[in-house]
Structure 1
Amino acid sequence: MIATAYRLPFSGTHSPGAGPSGQPVAIHIQTAAPDRAGVVMRTMELFAQLAATGALGGAGAAPWETKFTPVPTPLNDDSDFRFDVHPCLLAEEAWLVLCHLLLAAHHSVPVRGVAVLHPGDPSPIPLAQSTLPESSYPRAYAPLPFALDDLEPEGGGYSLLISLAAPLSPANEALLNRSLAVWVEAILRGGYGLAPIDPADSYIEPDGAIDTYDTTIEWAVFKLRADPEAAIDGLLNLLCAFHVRAQAIVSVEIG
């Protein structure tokens, strides 16, 4: 069951299994006022970019196999947005990230409803309200394809030490920097919000681009105000996808 720790000011429904089943999905987002500024479209674009990094993989969806390319359906209505995704392969919990991005965007345009459905589903279910303090975000894929040493640092900062099987190529360095930039943007825009903090108040302070030498990559996050476990799990999924799609990772240390 996917559940949010926030009390959403809009309705949320989904088809059970939407995402990991690999079946097409239709996403319907309605706003209570015209969205002439394009907030909903920009939010969906960011969600699609995050999906492309592999961060929204997890149980039932290997990060390197995720698929999500939303095609908007023209409706000539600034308060009604529909997207068809065929195929769709994500962790089912990924829809929480979308809803929390829209919750943060609610300050700019009032969202009225979000539905993620298999076409023709006659019985979608409402997004559950969590009985725990945390939302059920996508977890890290298991088993990881590289060794992980998580030192569980305290204080809100993280250092990342990645060992590769071979020196990082310039193309893959650029790819990894782009992927990390998307992950950072998703955090800043509330995708990994930590209730009861307003997701619009999420914050991350990364250490610019990665540093690389020989077969080692170093990167750091100095401050993080978001769900730390969910954000790090998303980062690990991103690295899983990079490992398979781009360049082999031997080990990751989080300190």
Structure 2
Amino acid sequence: MDTTTIPLACVNGVALHQADELLDAETLRQRACTELLRQAAERAGLLAESADTGDAIEALLERELNVPEPGDEALRRHYEAHLGSHAQGEKLQLRHVLFAVTPGVDVQALRRHAEGVLLELRCAEPGSEAFARAAEAWSNCPSREAGGELGWLTREDCAPEFAREIFAADTAQAIGVLPRLVHSRFGLHVVEVRAREAGTVPAFDEVRGAVALALKQQAWVNALRQYLQVLAGEAELEGVSLQAAETPLVQ
């Protein structure tokens, strides 16, 4: 009988998982961030006022995070730097090879494989059948049956994180296989842009509200990251590192 147990990860002595529960690093960081905030809300007396932990954490963040309203100059700078993200009606004709990230998959091995396929397809002769063959052989998307074809897509047709990468300013004129893997909630994509239809960029005043929301969200995330770093510095952490988290992962 195997009696091996997994060492517990804790925040100030509070376990983040069961003794027989094996978590990936991202999920463990997510739980640690949530527990740091829960404990801070408890110290602030907010849990006594709310039976719901999520409500207590929201009340804590409302009180602790200072997110100023962006000024007009900052809004205009952001608008000018991200003109492509405001384009309306832009369309791309795409095909892709999807390497799905599923439970239990070795992500590093999957990435190495995806990068190898990306390099192979970037070196393939234009007009060859290499991309279609790769999609049929490797893609975890139903489009594999059509050689990876996704057809014409707008931003609204895509998952937000996928749209941000394929419509990004540094790929705005690209035709062909994009030079890097595209990340989405579904996994890693090798993407080929087959054609483009340019959209129109609205005037600043038409999108001022959207620009302000984007800047405020960015400022909120930065403030939350800094607050979590303070809480982590004051806490006793066991079996979990928050240094590798690119953004706060809070449920």
TM-score between the two structures when normalised by the length of structure 2: 0.25
Greater helix proportion: 2
TM-score between the two structures when normalised by the length of structure 1: 0.25
Greater strand proportion: 1
Mark the structure with the bigger radius of gyration: 2
